[in-house]
Chain A
Amino acid sequence: MSPQSDPAGLPRLLAGMPAHGSMGLAEHLALHGKLPFAGRRERRGAGALIDLVEQAGLRGRGGAAFPLARKMGAVAASAGRAPIGRRPIVLANAAEGEPASRKDRVLLEGLPHLIIDGGVLAARAVGADELILCIDEEAGPALQSAKRAIRERERTGGDALRINIQTVPGGYVSGQESALVNLCNGGSAKPTLTPPMPFQRGVRRRPTLINNSETLAHLALIARYGPQWFRQLGTQAHPGSTLLTLSGAFAHPGVYEIEYGAPLQSLIEGAGGATSPIRAALLGGYAGTWFDGAMIPTITLSNDHLAPHEASLGAGIVVLLSQETCPVAETARVTRWLAEQSAGQCGPCVHGLRAIAGAIEELAAGAASAGAGQRIARWSTLAKGRGACRHPDGAARFITSALDVFAEEFADHARHGPCDACSRTYELPLPASSKLAAAA
C-alpha cells in the first residue's frame, strides 16, 4: 500500500521496498513526490523545518530516543556561536554494530533515497553543507546502494551540499556517536571522552548532528506529509511508526515496520509466531532487557510502557528465545562476545566484562566457586557509568536481566553442570565474523 492510497497506514518507510536491489531516484520521487525545503532557492529555512520536527514529535530511532528537534536546535545554536565559515556537518548513522539489528542496512539497501532525503533536510535545518553517510564496511549491498544513489542525485542536479560516505569497521561500539566522530577525524572507531559532545565540537571540530538513518528516513516523510500525518500513528510521547528487527525463534524473522506502541503479542502473530514454545523475549538487543515468556501478552512495544521494567526498544530489537535452546549457554556466549567487543580503552569495562564472562562460563559449566552469583552482580553494578561510552552499562543490564529471568536455569547449571540443550542450537544472533557465532 503506498502512502497515497492510505496516507496514515503502514507501511510508511517500507512502502515500495523492492524485493531485490534498491529503488532508483525516479521511482522514489514518483512514490513520495519532490523533496520540499531542500532546493537551492528554497526560502523556508532552518526554523520552519525544526518547527515541523518539533510538531511531529519525532524521536531518534538509534536507541536513545532523544527528541530530534532538540538535537537539531542544539547543533544550530552551537553553529551560531561558531566562527563564520565553520558550518555544521550531518552524519547519517547506518553503522549498526548490534548483531541483532538489521533495519538500517535493510533500509539503506532498498530505499537509499529516503535516508539521503532526510540527511539533506537535516543539513538544511542546521545550516550544514556536508552530509556523511556512515556505513558498515562489511555491508556490501548497502554500500553499493548508497554509492549508486549519490551518483544518481548528482546526475540530476544535486542537493546543494556535499554527500560523502565514511565506511565504518565492524564492532559493537564503532557506531557510537563519539566513535564515528573520532573515525571521521582520522582516528579509530573508538569512543572518546565526552564532553565536548558532537553537537558542540565534532567532525573537523565543527558542530555535528548525528542521526540514526531510520530517523532521517522518517524526517523525509514528515517534510512531505506533515506532522499531523506522522502523529496518526504511535503514542502522544512517541509518535509514528518504527522499524523493528526480529530474530531468534521467530518463524519469519526480518525487518518489520509497526505502529509505535503496538502489542508484542500481535507482532509475534504477524511474524508467523514462534518456531517452538517461547521461553523469553529480549527487547533492546544486547544492551537490553529479558522478559519471561509468560509476560509477553502484557507487553506493549513502547518505551513509556517499558521504562518501569528498566527496559526500552533500543534500536528496535526483538529477539525470541525458544525452549529448544539453553538460556545459560546463550547468555555465556553473548556475554563473552560483549566482553570481546570492549574497545579496550577503559579498565572497568575491559576487566569487568571479562571477569563477568568468565564467571558466567564457570556457572554454565557447573564449575563456579561459591558466591559466583554475588560476584557477577557486584561487578555488573561496578561496570555502570565507568566507561567513556555506555557499553559497560548496556552489557551489565543485559547480564543482570538474564540472571534474573533465567535464575532457575542458572541455579540448575551451577549445581549440575551443562544440560542437554546447552550445545544443541543457538538462537541469539552474533556476527558471522565472530568465532562465537559458529560455536554451536
Chain B
Amino acid sequence: MSVRLKVNPIACEAHGMCAEILPERITLDDWGYPIIDERPLPSELTALARRAAEACPTFALLVERDTSPQRER
C-alpha cells in the first residue's frame, strides 16, 4: 500500500522541519512554506515521511494512504 504526502496549509506555519528531513519530496518556497511532491511515495521514503510528519510542530504534514485509482501504463 502506497502513501502520499499532503500539507494542511491552514495549520502550516513554515517551520520548515519537513524539508530538512525529506528534501527528496519537500522544498520550501520564498517564504519558507513547503512545496510538496504529492506523487505516491516509494516505499524506501515512507519511514522518513512519517518522521517528517512527526517532526512538524503544528502537525500540518499529513501522510495519507494513497486512495487514487491506479493509472494504467
Is A386's CB under 8 angstroms from B14's CB?
Answer: no
Contact status of A348 and B9, CB under 8 A, knowing A382-B29, A386-B33, A386-B35? yes
Contact across chains for B29 and A192 when beta carbons are under 8 A apart: no
A347 touches B33 (CB 8 A): yes
Interface of B, helix, strand, loop or mixed by DSSP: loop
Say yes or no: A387-B9 contact (C-beta < 8 A), given A347-B14, A382-B35: yes
Contact B10 A351 (CB under 8 A): no
Report A374-391 CB contacts with B as 1/0, cut-off 8 Å: 000001001000111000
A381-431 at interface with B (beta carbon < 8 Å): 382, 386-388
Q: For window 4-28 of chain B, which residues contact chain A by CB distance below 8 Å?
A: 8-14
Contact between B30 and A346 (Cβ–Cβ < 8 Å)? no
Query: Does residue A164 face the partner (Cβ distance < 8 Å to B)?
Result: no
A:352-385 near B, CB below 8 Å: 352, 355, 379, 382
The answer to the question of A193 belonging to the interface, with a C-beta cut-off of 8 Å to chain B, is yes
Q: Which residues of A contact B12 (CB under 8 A)?
A: 346-347
- A382-B35, A386-B35 known; A348-B29 Cβ under 8 A: yes
Tell which of B13, B14, B29 has the most Cβ of chain A within 10 Å.
B29
Supposing A351-B30, A355-B30, A382-B29 touch, asked if A346 and B9 sit within 8 A by C-beta, the answer is yes
A228 within 8 A of B: no
Q: Does A345 contact B (CB under 8 A)?
A: yes
B9 touches A347 (CB 8 A): yes
What is the chain B residue whose CB lies nearest that of A378?
A: B30
A382 to B13, CA, bound (A): 17
Q: Which residues of B contact A192 (CB under 8 A)?
A: 10
> Can you list, as one digit per residue, whether each of A293-334 has a CB less than 8 Å from chain B (1) or not (0)?
000000000000000000000000000000000000000000
The answer, among B8, B11, B13, B31, for a CB contact under 8 Å with A351, is: B31
> Is B8 touching A348 in the complex (CB atoms < 8 A)?
no
B66: shortest Cβ distance to chain A, in Å? 15
CA distance A80 to B28 in the complex (A): 43
- Are A348 and B33 within 8 A (Cβ)? yes
Chain A residues near B13 (CB-CB < 8 A): 347
Residue of B nearest to A344 (CB): B10
Question: In the complex, A193→B13 CA distance in Å?
Answer: 15
**Interchain CA distance A379-B32 in the complex, whole Å:** 13
Alpha-carbon separation in the docked complex, A123 to B40 (Å): 39
- A346 touching B10 in the complex, CB below 8 Å, given contacts A382-B35, A386-B35: yes
A387 CA / B12 CA spacing, docked (Å): 11
For A346, A352, A379, the residue with the greatest tally of chain B CB atoms inside 10 Å of its CB is: A346
Complex CA–CA separation, A240 to B8 (angstroms):
39
Give A192 to B35 CA distance when docked, in angstroms: 20
24 inter-chain pairs at a CB distance below 8 angstroms, sorted by A residue, are A192-B10, A193-B8, A193-B9, A193-B10, A193-B11, A345-B9, A345-B10, A346-B10, A347-B12, A347-B13, A347-B32, A347-B33, A348-B33, A351-B30, A351-B31, A351-B33, A352-B31, A355-B30, A382-B29, A382-B35, A386-B9, A386-B33, A386-B35, A388-B8
Write the residues of chain B forming the contact surface with A, with a CB cutoff of 8 angstroms: 8-14, 29-33, 35
- Chain A interface (Cβ < 8 Å from any Cβ of B): 192-193, 345-349, 351-352, 355, 379, 382, 386-388
> Closest 7 CB pairs between A and B?
A346-B9, A351-B31, A347-B33, A345-B10, A388-B10, A193-B8, A348-B33
